[in-house]
Amino acid sequence: MPNPKNPTRSISEADVVRHWFIADARDKVLGRFASHVATILRGKHKPTFTPHVDGGDFVVVVNAKQVRLTGRKLDQKEYIRHSGYPGGLRSDTARFLLEKHPDRVLRAAVKGMLPKGPLGRRMLSKLKIYPGAEHPHAAQKPTTLEINA
């Protein structure tokens, strides 16, 4: 039976206070870095965490091109996509994607760590990834996020 003096509270979308964080991916291991970013996007770092509400914060990732993959993943890890047409299956290695579209590697890693469905897609939309050090979100005054991964 719940304690009437200290009831469990669930926050609603209207009660969520969002902050902006900036994280530097330079020389960070991809999976460890992505798990920290996913935690911030979900809002699990807040005491008001509610699993069915998007209570997370915005995360701006810079230097995504310099993220690190351990072992032989640069040449062995494949990212697969399909155009929807017959014979439309395409696959790229992690090395190719890091050179051409470095944001896709990090976005795929974080996406796999978020809930599936509309809630996860809403959380993923708060992730902003840039290959270099420049970003257009200075007006939001993002706080530096120290990730020791």
Length of the chain: 149
What's residue 2's pLDDT? Answer: 67
Residue 16: Cβ-neighbour burial (10 angstroms; 0-12, 13-18, 19+): middle
What is the residue extent of each domain of the chain? 18-68+101-144
Token reading at 90:
């395409």
What's residue 1's pLDDT? Answer: 61
Number of C-beta neighbours around residue 125 at 10 A:
11
Which residues, listed in sequence order, are joined to residue 144 by a DSSP beta bridge? 22
Q: What is the DSSP letter of 23?
A: E
73-91 tens-digit pLDDT: 999 999 999 999 999 999 9
Residues of the chain with pLDDT under 70: 1-2, 149
Task: Assign domain 18-68+101-144 to its CATH architecture.
Answer: Alpha-Beta Complex (3.90)
What's residue 148's pLDDT? Answer: 83
Identify the CA nearest to 23 among candidates 14, 32, 15: 32
Give residues with Cβ within 8 angstroms of 96, minimum separation 6. Answer: none
